């Protein structure tokens, strides 16, 4: 799934560097991106940089959720919320303009209750979080959102 996302992202935004394991591989640890990050072992799947390559503009997680529900659904959305709160609080405290992307592979995301949880997650940080399926990326993820 990350291979498809990286390919789509690079096609849509060829001048914005994206880093992370494009296929299977070790997650990026935020302590390697931000030297003073309070939870240096926080794993993320990808980091997107500004066009100059000298500043982080987005951090993301990509997950397979093809048919999750019940407790698994609650674990995923709860984990995303905790991760977003940790990262975006750090960004706010350090005056970083940073966004978060949560990429899912599809159908599980579209379950009614799960989508409601994700919609609430997006609203929790006023324009700083976007939840997408791969199909949503071309139409919903914009340069304006990433950079503003």
- Using the predicted structure, report yes or no on whether residue 108 has a pLDDT greater than 50: yes
End-to-end CA distance of the chain: 26
CB 134 within 8 A of CB 12: no
- 93-100 average pLDDT score: 96
* pLDDT for position 1: 67
- 99, 60 Cβ separation under 8 angstroms: no
- Report phi then psi at 95, rounded to 5: 50, 45
> What's the CA angle centered on 136, arms 47 and 108, to 5 degrees?
90
- Map out the domains of the chain as residue ranges: 2-147
Does position 21 have pLDDT exceeding 50, yes or no? yes
- pLDDT tens readout for residues 123-143: 999 899 999 888 889 999 999
The residue-averaged pLDDT of 13-37 equals: 93
pTM of the model: 0.88
Q: pLDDT digits over 30-89, tens only? A: 999 999 999 999 999 999 999 999 999 999 998 755 444 444 444 456 678 899 999 999
- Nearest Cα to 141, choosing from 3, 45, 6? 6
* Average pLDDT across the chain, whole number: 86
2-147 folds as Trna Endonuclease; Chain: A, domain 1 (3.40.1350)
């Amino acid at each position: 799934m990350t291979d498809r996302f990286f390919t789509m992202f690079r096609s849509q935004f060829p001048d914005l560097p994206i880093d992370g394991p494009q296929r299977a591989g070790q997650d990026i640890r935020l302590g390697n991106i931000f030297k003073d990050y309070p939870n240096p072992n926080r794993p993320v799947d990808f980091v997107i940089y500004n066009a100059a390559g000298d500043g982080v503009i987005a951090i993301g997680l990509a997950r397979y959720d093809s048919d999750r529900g019940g407790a698994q659904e609650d674990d995923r959305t709860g984990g995303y919320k905790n991760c977003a709160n940790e990262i975006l609080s750090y960004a706010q405290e350090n005056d970083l303009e940073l966004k978060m992307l949560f990429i899912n592979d599809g159908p599980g995301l579209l379950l009614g209750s799960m989508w409601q949880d994700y919609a609430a997650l997006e609203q929790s940080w006023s324009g700083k979080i976007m939840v997408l399926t791969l199909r949503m990326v071309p139409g919903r993820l914009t340069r304006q959102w990433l950079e503003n």
